[in-house]
Amino acid sequence: MELHGGNILGADVAKSGAATFRAVNPSTGQELDPVFHEATEAEAARTLDLAEEAFAAYRSQPAEAIAKFLEAIAAGLEALGQELIARAHAETALPEARLLSERGRTVTQLRMFAALVCEGSWVDARIDRADPGRTPVPKPDLRRMLVPIGPVVVFGASNFPLAFSICGGDTASAFAAGNPVVAKAHPAHPGTSELAARVIQKAVRDCGLPMGIFSMVQGAKPDLSLSLVRHPSTRAVGFTGSLQAGRALFDAAAQRPSPIPVFAEMGSINPIFVLPHALKERGAELAQSLAKSVTLGVGQFCTKPGLVVGLGDASLDTFRQTLGSLIGATAPGIMLYAGIAARYGSSFSKRCGTRDVQLVSSTSAAPGISKTQAQAAVFATQAQSFLQNAELREEQFGPSTLVVACGSGEELEQVAHSLDGQLTVTVHATEQDLKEHAGLLDILREKTGRLLFGGVPTGVEVAPAMHHGGPYPATTDSRFTSVGTAAILRFVRPLCYQDAPQDYLPLELKDENSRGIWRLVDGEWTRAAITSIAPART
Amino acid sequence: MELHGGNILGADVAKSGAATFRAVNPSTGQELDPVFHEATEAEAARTLDLAEEAFAAYRSQPAEAIAKFLEAIAAGLEALGQELIARAHAETALPEARLLSERGRTVTQLRMFAALVCEGSWVDARIDRADPGRTPVPKPDLRRMLVPIGPVVVFGASNFPLAFSICGGDTASAFAAGNPVVAKAHPAHPGTSELAARVIQKAVRDCGLPMGIFSMVQGAKPDLSLSLVRHPSTRAVGFTGSLQAGRALFDAAAQRPSPIPVFAEMGSINPIFVLPHALKERGAELAQSLAKSVTLGVGQFCTKPGLVVGLGDASLDTFRQTLGSLIGATAPGIMLYAGIAARYGSSFSKRCGTRDVQLVSSTSAAPGISKTQAQAAVFATQAQSFLQNAELREEQFGPSTLVVACGSGEELEQVAHSLDGQLTVTVHATEQDLKEHAGLLDILREKTGRLLFGGVPTGVEVAPAMHHGGPYPATTDSRFTSVGTAAILRFVRPLCYQDAPQDYLPLELKDENSRGIWRLVDGEWTRAAITSIAPART
Which residues have C-beta within 8 Å of that of residue B264, sequence separation ≥ 6?
Answer: B237, B239, B240, B241, B246, B247, B249, B250, B475, B476
CA B161, B166, B169, B172: dihedral to nearest 10 degrees? -150
Residue B535 has pLDDT above 70, yes or no: no
CA A440, A446, A447, A452: dihedral to nearest 10 degrees? 70
**Which pLDDT score, from 0 to 100, does residue A194 have?**
98
For B257, phi then psi, to 5°, come to -55, -40
Alpha-helical (H) ranges within B219-334 are 222-230, 243-254, 276-295, 314-328
User: In terms of CA atoms, which chain B residue is nearest residue A430?
Assistant: B501
* Cα separations in angstroms, B280 against A26, A262, A499, B425: 72, 46, 20, 20
For B369, phi then psi, to 5°, come to -55, 135
Angle at CA of residue B50, ends B44 and B54, nearest 5°: 150
Tell me the per-residue pLDDT of B103-135, one tens digit each, with 9 for 90 and over: 999 999 999 999 999 999 999 999 999 999 999
Catalytic residue at B302?
yes
Question: For residue A242, which of A455, A476, A511 has the smallest C-alpha distance?
Answer: A476
All structural domains of chain A: 271-453 (3.40.309.10)
Question: For residue B261, which of B299, B292, B234 has the smallest C-alpha distance?
Answer: B234
**Which pLDDT score, from 0 to 100, does residue A294 have?**
97
DSSP A39-80: PPHHHHHHHHHHHHHHHHHHHTS-HHHHHHHHHHHHHHHHHH
**Which pLDDT score, from 0 to 100, does residue B533 have?**
63
* Cα separations in angstroms, B420 against A449, A534, B242, B291, B449: 35, 40, 15, 24, 12
Residue B538 has pLDDT above 50, yes or no: no
Which residues have C-beta within 8 Å of that of residue A110, sequence separation ≥ 6?
Answer: A70, A71, A73, A74, A77, A167, A172
Closest approach of A142 to chain B, Cα-based (Å): 6
Poorest-pLDDT segment among A146-150, A205-209, B364-368: B364-368
Contacts B472 to A, Cβ<8 Å: 258-259
Whether A486 sits inside 8 A of B459 (CB atoms) is no
User: In terms of CA atoms, which chain B residue is nearest residue A434?
Assistant: B504
Query: Residue B496: which of A143, A449, A493 has the nearest Cβ?
Result: A449
Question: For residue B50, which of B20, B15, B16, B7 has the smallest C-alpha distance?
Answer: B7
Please name the amino acid found at residue A33. D
Which residues have C-beta within 8 Å of that of residue B507, sequence separation ≥ 6?
Answer: B62, B514, B515
CA-CA distance, B446 to B454, in Å (whole number)? 18
Helix (H, G, I), strand (E, B) or coil at B533: coil
**Which pLDDT score, from 0 to 100, does residue A84 have?**
98
**Which pLDDT score, from 0 to 100, does residue A538 have?**
43
**What ipTM is given for this predicted complex?**
0.96
Residue A423 has pLDDT above 90, yes or no: yes
Whether A149 sits inside 8 A of B478 (CB atoms) is yes
Query: What amino acid positions of A are annotated as catalytic residues?
Result: 265, 302
Report the residue count for chain A.
538
Number of continuous H segments (helices) and E segments (strands) in chain B:
15, 23
The pairing of beta strand A125-128 with beta strand B125-128: unpaired
pTM above 0.90, yes or no: yes
Whether B494 sits inside 8 A of A501 (CB atoms) is no
Whether B450 sits inside 8 A of A495 (CB atoms) is yes
Tell me the per-residue pLDDT of A468-499, one tens digit each, with 9 for 90 and over: 999 999 999 999 999 999 999 999 999 999 99
CA atoms within 13 A on the CB side of B154: 35
| Mean per-residue pLDDT, B83-96 | 98
**At A369, is the pLDDT very low, low, confident or very high (cuts 50, 70, 90)?**
low
**Which pLDDT score, from 0 to 100, does residue B531 have?**
84
Query: Residue A464: which of B464, B498, B523 has the nearest Cβ?
Result: B523
Residue B196 has pLDDT above 50, yes or no: yes
Alpha carbon B218 to chain centroid distance? 20
CA-CA distance, B311 to B411, in Å (whole number)? 9
Poorest-pLDDT segment among A38-52, A320-334, A356-370, B92-106: A356-370
Contacts B149 to A, Cβ<8 Å: 478-479
**At A267, is the pLDDT very low, low, confident or very high (cuts 50, 70, 90)?**
confident
Query: Residue A250: which of B259, B469, B504 has the nearest Cβ?
Result: B259
Out of B302, B406, B411, B508, the active site residue is B302
Residue B170 has pLDDT above 80, yes or no: yes
Whether B466 sits inside 8 A of A56 (CB atoms) is no
Helix (H, G, I), strand (E, B) or coil at B529: coil
Whether A449 sits inside 8 A of B142 (CB atoms) is no
Number of continuous H segments (helices) and E segments (strands) in chain A:
15, 23
Check whether the bond before A34 is cis (ω within 30° of 0).
yes
Closest approach of B98 to chain A, Cα-based (Å): 12
Closest approach of B29 to chain A, Cα-based (Å): 33
| Mean per-residue pLDDT, A351-368 | 88
B219, containing H or E segment: none
Tell me the per-residue pLDDT of B246-294, one tens digit each, with 9 for 90 and over: 999 999 999 999 999 999 999 899 999 999 999 999 999 999 999 999 9
- Which of A123, A431, A444, A493 is most worth mutating to test chain B (most B CB atoms within 10 A of its CB)? A493
Which residues make beta-bridge pairs with B520? B126, B525
Whether A251 sits inside 8 A of B251 (CB atoms) is no
* Cα separations in angstroms, B304 against A171, A381, A388, B267, B308: 39, 62, 55, 9, 11
Contacts A469 to B, Cβ<8 Å: 493-494
Contacts B101 to A, Cβ<8 Å: 136
Q: In the A/B pair of chains, how many CB contacts fall below 8 A?
A: 197
The pairing of beta strand B236-240 with beta strand B152-155: parallel
Whether A459 sits inside 8 A of B137 (CB atoms) is yes
CA B268, B272, B273, B276: dihedral to nearest 10 degrees? -170
**At B534, is the pLDDT very low, low, confident or very high (cuts 50, 70, 90)?**
low
**At B461, is the pLDDT very low, low, confident or very high (cuts 50, 70, 90)?**
very high
Whether B455 sits inside 8 A of A144 (CB atoms) is no
The pairing of beta strand A125-128 with beta strand A142-148: antiparallel
- A157 neighbors A186 (Cβ within 8 angstroms): yes
Whether B501 sits inside 8 A of A453 (CB atoms) is yes
Alpha-helical (H) ranges within B296-401 are 314-328, 338-352, 383-388
Contacts B501 to A, Cβ<8 Å: 431, 434, 453
- Which of A122, A249, A251, A467 is most worth mutating to test chain B (most B CB atoms within 10 A of its CB)? A467
Whether B143 sits inside 8 A of A465 (CB atoms) is yes
Closest approach of A191 to chain B, Cα-based (Å): 29
Residue A418 has pLDDT above 50, yes or no: yes
| Mean per-residue pLDDT, A421-437 | 97
| Mean per-residue pLDDT, A104-118 | 98
Check whether the bond before B34 is cis (ω within 30° of 0).
yes
**Which pLDDT score, from 0 to 100, does residue B332 have?**
86
Alpha carbon B380 to chain centroid distance? 30
* Cα separations in angstroms, A524 against B56, B122, B508, B514: 32, 12, 18, 19
Closest approach of B273 to chain A, Cα-based (Å): 14
Tell me the per-residue pLDDT of A233-265, one tens digit each, with 9 for 90 and over: 999 999 999 999 999 999 999 999 999 999 999
CA-CA distance, B272 to B427, in Å (whole number)? 6
Residue B216 has pLDDT above 70, yes or no: yes
CA-CA distance, B359 to B379, in Å (whole number)? 4
- A408 neighbors A387 (Cβ within 8 angstroms): no
Query: Residue A472: which of B258, B452, B494 has the nearest Cβ?
Result: B258
Out of B52, B265, B411, B508, the active site residue is B265
Whether B455 sits inside 8 A of A140 (CB atoms) is yes
Closest approach of A133 to chain B, Cα-based (Å): 15
B493, containing H or E segment: strand B492-498
Query: Residue A478: which of B121, B493, B518 has the nearest Cβ?
Result: B493
> Considering chain A, what is the average pLDDT of its residues?
96
Which residues have C-beta within 8 Å of that of residue B292, sequence separation ≥ 6?
Answer: B456
